[in-house]
Amino acid sequence: MPDKINRHLDIAPEVAAALRSGEAVVALESTIISHGMPYPRNAETAATVEATVRAAGAIPATIAVLHGRLKVGLSAAEIQHLGRQGQAAIKCSRRDLPLVVARGQDGATTVAATLLIAAMAGIRVFATGGIGGVHRDVEETLDISADLDELARNNVAVVCAGVKSILDIGRTLEYLETRGVAVVGYQTGNLPAFYSRDSGFAVEYRGDTAAEVAAIMQAQHELGLTGGLLVGVPIPEEYALDSAEIDGVINDALGEMRQRGITGKAATPFLLASIVERTGGRSLDANIGLVINNARVAAEIAVESSSGICGIRHIP
């Protein structure tokens, strides 16, 4: 836990105690609560994700901005509050935080903002669904998610189901390499693609156990390297969608988005909602299944990181 806590930061007593004693803590984002799915399923999912982290031996720390305060660890009532607010809560990336704090507003934190706040609090493992990245029409829009730069800035391991499949995965991997972010496949040699288990893009490193990933985190810390670690966990097979089917759905949704002129921070929520509709709700079930699985893996990594380290290996 940092010696000096930012004056805008409120760390829940349970989380603060765990950080002081070196116990395992897992950060969780809040855009999935307010912008990722409808109420009450969003609040129910958030509660299940927290319970999954606890069952694996770690303390959950859901992160959001409430009344202008950066909150690390939400109560059940605060999760319900965000769930009911839905998209009325401001979607907060790094750039939005000063405004939301200054105005005393409520905000749901994206991967980028959650990473930043987790690092402020001294949390080293963060579980989410999928990260943002380089958008497919980047030549026209220059749209590159702030998630990538925050990964490069903050010493936090992000456990996810890979890069969101609505993005340009190959270019996202190239950007991460340029920014010095290591990408590790968890029990896989290929990067997952959110709704499907395999993007077709290989990763150079893999970790087959939580202890191996914790060892990489420890080595990175001991080397004094700034920046995070991206851990790609394939969606469980029972929730995975067919790659060809989901690619077709995404392309149709992207076409509709362009026709409507939807850009910026509104793009991802629109695309996800459109994909849910086009898959008859199966993509929402997949999203929930992968988030819960990622939370379990992240908790196991956090436990290993707090207690012991072993083995790193390179993929031949």
Strand partners, 206: 185
Contact yes or no for 233/294 (Cβ under 8 A): yes
Taking residue 307's Cβ as centre, other Cβ atoms within 10 Å add up to 13
| H runs (alpha helix) in 56-145 | 76-85, 97-102, 111-121, 138-141
Q: Which pair of structure tokens corresponds to residue 92?
A: 């907060």
Q: Which of 29, 50, 212, 300 is catalytic?
A: 29
The torsion angles phi and psi of 109, rounded to 5 degrees, stand at -85, 135
29 is catalytic: yes
86 contact partners, CB below 8 Å, separation of at least 6: 34, 35, 38, 39, 42
- Is 4 noted as a catalytic residue in this protein? no
* Strand duo 157-160 + 125-127: pairing: parallel
Tell me which of 71, 91, 164, 212 is the catalytic residue: 164
Active-site positions?
Answer: 29, 164
